[in-house]
Amino acid sequence: MGKRSRNALLFCLTALLSLGAQAPADPLYREGLRLMQQGYYTEARLYLEQAQEKDPYNPELYFSLGIIAYKQKNYQSAYGRYQKALTLLPSPELRGRLQGALADIYFQLEDFKQAAQAYQQALSFLPQSKGLRLRLAMSLLRLQNNSAALAETEKLLKDFPLLEEAYELRSLIQLSQANYSQALQDFEKALEKKQPGWESWVQLNWLYRINLDFERARTVANKIVQIHAREHPEAHLIAGDTAFESLLHCQRTVPCNPSEQVQSAITFYEKYTLAEPEQALGHFKLGKLYLWDKNPRLAQIFFRRAEMLFPEHRHYHTARLEAEIAAGNRQKIEIQLKTQPLNPLYLEDLELMVKLQELYQGQKHSTEFPTAPREEWTQSQKSQWYFLKGYLAYRESENIHLALANWGKAEKADPQSAGNDIIRALRLKESHKSAWAKDLLLQAMRKNPEWWLPYQLLGESEYENKAWKNAAFYLDQAVRWNPLSKKSFLQLFEAQSQLKLSQEAQSTLAYALAIYPDAPELQTRYWQNLEQKPGF
């Protein structure tokens, strides 16, 4: 267990002991906390469950059992216990700790939007908590909401001016200002003063990745696996993420061996799922990687496993639907969506609705939406919701002016988001300033390299300019991240054909026909392609 993890656990236990439980459960409760503090989680759970039998409506007991489940990485069980505790009218202090505990689960699952929201709620009850504010800043940084992360970091420096982790905090400030090189220097200085532990290695790996120094990122990832994988199986996830991101970067800059990089990432992700078979995140990452590698049949298997393990996580559900459509099960999913329609008040559902827009041409879904997102969402979430709603209206009507009202709200909510880079790019394109529009789309792509939309728009622009090589690259990435776009498949096929990449063009056409077997334009190209083969 890392130093910060131990400190966080000791902090929770001290708080619980000071709060106390009602008799007659109190002796059992205290013994359970003592065992938990020493790391004997299974034994501690037995005492706490006995205490709970005598005092079934005590929220502190649910919180304690939730901590044990969390430490044993049973996040779904921990989530349920924390939510139950919140229904039992806990004290304001305990409510804050419960919200922070829920945020920790979201952070572990890399759902940084939900994590940031929960940390903010926790801080409304515990405004002086250093740990909560630090993790909120980290969540905001992972969301690349730099201005908000800077504000939280400055609050920390004001409240704790003599904090031991001064270099690390200054590194966070540099990160929040997008001064990644300086942030890395500060963090390396921090490591000069202490032996790096688990969390420090993880942070260093992430800093190298965000600075696109994948050679050193891979070196650190391998060290993390060698030193910490036994105690922290998620080390394999970090190594897998490093390999995957390295693949995406090298494809854009220098030649590399994609199949070798893909296999490296798969190997690390598989090691994690073998070590933690009940953790949904490993299965989800394998699904995402297989979908990117144009293997939707395998992707749907892993997405389905992730959804079964954590059904409350909406992204796992929509990812499975997308993979099933890409695997050729479009009609089955269309029937399912008629009885269980997507809900535009979930960001994940709205994203999928935008991807599915070509399937529903002629229908005006965007006019049926709620007028505003959920009130409790973060500004970043609200910005993305308004952007997607506006973009769907733009695609449905092919008139940018109908989307302006929503896009104005998106820009106001989070001016630095990748979505707002796209808004500005579309406006510039309408003004025939294509070069500036391209720069903004590239900026959006750098901010979110796993988002399909910048690739798709860049590919469409290069296709219009008959820049076939660039068009083929961007459109290939677009269909990897969004295999539901018939238009992207058609343009990719044409670009590959222009480049005389016959094998790649045939593979593109076969993939598209598996999804859209009844599309006349795809069928026409299939027969034309077949007629060109010798011996037809």
pLDDT in tens, 23-35: 335 788 889 989 9
Same domain, 356 and 386: yes
Residue 221 class from Cβ within 10 Å (0-12 exposed, 13-18 middle, 19+ buried)? buried
Which of these ranges, 112-126, 367-381, 477-491, has the smallest mean pLDDT? 367-381
Residue 535 gets the label, from left (phi > 0), alpha (psi -120 to 50) or beta, of left
Same domain, 378 and 433: yes
Between CA 190 and CA 97 the distance in angstroms is 29
**Omega of the bond prior to 127 within 30 degrees of 0, cis?**
no
- Establish if 517 belongs to a structural domain: yes
In this model, does residue 21 exceed pLDDT 50?
A: no
Between CA 171 and CA 167 the distance in angstroms is 6
Predicted local confidence at residue 368, as pLDDT: 65
Q: Which CATH number goes with the domain that contains 467? A: 1.25.40.10
Predicted local confidence at residue 416, as pLDDT: 85
Which residues form the domain of 348? 343-449
Task: Quote the number of domains for the chain.
Answer: 2
Q: What's the CA angle centered on 47, arms 46 and 51, to 5 degrees?
A: 115
Which of these ranges, 234-238, 363-367, 477-481, has the smallest mean pLDDT? 363-367
- Per-residue HEC secondary structure of 149-189 comes to HHHHHHHHHHHCCCCCCHHHHHHHHHHHCCCHHHHHHHHHH
Predicted local confidence at residue 535, as pLDDT: 45
- Establish if 350 belongs to a structural domain: yes
In this model, does residue 322 exceed pLDDT 80?
A: yes
Predicted local confidence at residue 511, as pLDDT: 96
pTM of the model: 0.71
User: At which of 449, 471, 496 does a domain end?
Assistant: 449
Same domain, 357 and 379: yes
User: At which of 415, 449, 483 does a domain end?
Assistant: 449
Average the pLDDT over 129-157 and give the result: 83
Cα separations (Å) of 361 from 347, 355, 392? 21, 12, 11
Predicted local confidence at residue 18, as pLDDT: 43
- Establish if 533 belongs to a structural domain: yes
SS3 assignment, position 385: helix
At residue 367 the predicted structure's pLDDT band, cuts being 50, 70 and 90, is: low
- Establish if 407 belongs to a structural domain: yes
Q: How many residues does the chain have?
A: 536
Predicted local confidence at residue 480, as pLDDT: 96
Average the pLDDT over 391-415 and give the result: 83
In this model, does residue 8 exceed pLDDT 50?
A: no
At residue 252 the predicted structure's pLDDT band, cuts being 50, 70 and 90, is: low
Same domain, 396 and 442: yes
Same domain, 426 and 505: no
Q: What percent of the chain has pLDDT over 90?
A: 53
- Establish if 73 belongs to a structural domain: no
Higher pLDDT, 220 or 146: 220
Q: What are phi and psi of 127, to 5 degrees?
A: -65, -15
